[in-house]
Amino acid sequence: MPVIKFRSDDMPKKLKIYIISIIIFGVCFTIVTLNRNRSIHTSELIFFLFLSIVAESMAILTPNKRGGVSVGFAIGFTLLLIFGVPEASWLASIGIMFRILNVDGKRMHIFNTPIYKTLFNGANIVLSSGFAGLCYEALGGTPGQLEFINILPMFGSIVVYIVINAIIMSILMAILSSDSLIKQLYTNIIWIIRDYFAIAPLSIIMAIAYINYGMLGVLLFFGPLLLARYSFKLYVDMRNMYLDTVKALCQAVEAKDPYTQGHSQRVSELAYNLGKRLKLSHKTLENLRFAGMLHDIGKIGIDEHILNKPGRLTTDEYDKIKLHPVIGSKIIQGIDFLKESADIVMGHHEHYDGTGYPDGKKEDEIPFEACILCVVDVYDALTSDRPYRRAMTEEEAIEIIKRESGTLFNPIVANEFIKMLGYKGEVEKRAG
């Protein structure tokens, strides 16, 4: 589930209205479904509340801190199969509202988290699990009675849960980021669909265990759930280590060439966004992101007097500069998770007409990702201050890219980049 950071005092009116609306809908749904309430023993209530809070407290933040994976859905879906609505919805909701998360070494809980955020998260779960539960029963499923014919109701309820949850969070993120709702919806559904369907079988097993053996049966299968969570944590920790390695390499370049400070990060973001517009695969986008961050890593091997020379470079000095793609490619080839970015780094100074370096490749000989990196690298360099010149305006940089499209730059990539920045035709500035 995405982790959104915002404060009530700087929230736009549209965002406030949306958050309040979801909270009201959640409260209304709970009230309307209360007449469906079934008897539940106090011991069962305490038991499942405890499991729900524990499961939600074990959420693992992803490396970018904008999202996380929680095993709370496993308990929520188990509750749905055992008790149905409304028990499943409000037990799962309490679990997420009373969870305790460790964020950057600080424990976050209901007493130090803004109340609107806590209530929004709770309402989200009420609506997601609530409508999923109604779908389960509408398709023929009966809470507390699991049979083979329940496969369709279970499948349908998972789909409803994913869709409702994704819609609620996508609208929120679209308001915050100004991105399109469709884009956010697609991203959120892709993010959770695999994990939720992978966790669902364990929920079914825990529900069967409870129906046949009671609370002890659930505990027996709660262990494998913890093991799955631990395995994913190891994966996230490994990804964090990878990102720390990339950041350290970027800092090494910036220490060598202070005029490029922030350049690698900007190039990486621009290349990634352009790659998404060009519909590259997720894996290719990741390689492109890393290549953008490390495209100048080879400058470590170049004399800093040459890198920071305020005047024109001599032919010999320029020949040494032209070695940095080769040096950079060799450096990252030796790092397993980066080696697929090596060819992109090697080719980011190749030109579409064959006049680039280090190999003089042209047109389709140049990796497509390297063509992307070439355009965004030149754009950011032109619009940044350098030892030998002041930064150009955005319009001046776009004029150069338009002029060199088909010579220095792949025309398809250059044209899409210009569109991405909001220009068209004769460099008409984007509206607004």
Structural domains in the chain plus CATH codes: 8-236 (no CATH), 257-420 (1.10.3210.10)
Report which of 17, 1, 188, 32 is spatially closest to residue 116, judged by C-alpha positions.
17
Predicted local confidence at residue 431, as pLDDT: 38
Structure tokens of 186?
């697609």
Q: Crossing angle of helices 368-382/263-277, nearest 10°?
A: 130
Predicted local confidence at residue 5, as pLDDT: 46
Predicted local confidence at residue 43, as pLDDT: 87
pLDDT in single tens digits along all 432 residues of the chain = 444 444 555 577 889 999 999 999 999 999 998 877 666 788 888 999 998 998 888 776 654 444 556 678 888 999 999 999 988 999 999 999 999 887 767 888 888 888 999 999 999 999 999 999 999 999 999 898 887 777 899 999 999 999 999 899 889 988 887 677 887 787 778 777 877 887 888 888 889 989 888 888 888 877 777 776 777 677 667 767 777 777 777 777 777 666 666 888 889 999 999 998 898 888 899 899 889 888 888 888 888 778 777 777 888 888 888 898 999 898 888 777 788 889 999 999 999 999 999 999 999 899 999 999 999 999 998 988 766 667 788 889 999 999 999 999 999 999 999 999 887 644 444 433
Predicted local confidence at residue 40, as pLDDT: 75
DSSP state of 277: H
Q: DSSP of 404-422, one letter per residue? A: HBTTTB-HHHHHHHHHHTT
DSSP state of 146: -
Q: Look at the pTM and tell me if it is higher than 0.75.
A: no
Predicted local confidence at residue 163, as pLDDT: 92
DSSP state of 367: -
**Quick check: 25 and 122 in contact, CB under 8 A?**
no
Report how far residue 241's alpha carbon sits from residue 193's, in angstroms, rounded to the nearest whole number.
Answer: 26
Report how far residue 133's alpha carbon sits from residue 80's, in angstroms, rounded to the nearest whole number.
Answer: 6
Predicted local confidence at residue 115, as pLDDT: 92
Predicted local confidence at residue 299, as pLDDT: 84
Predicted local confidence at residue 1, as pLDDT: 47
Predicted local confidence at residue 319, as pLDDT: 85
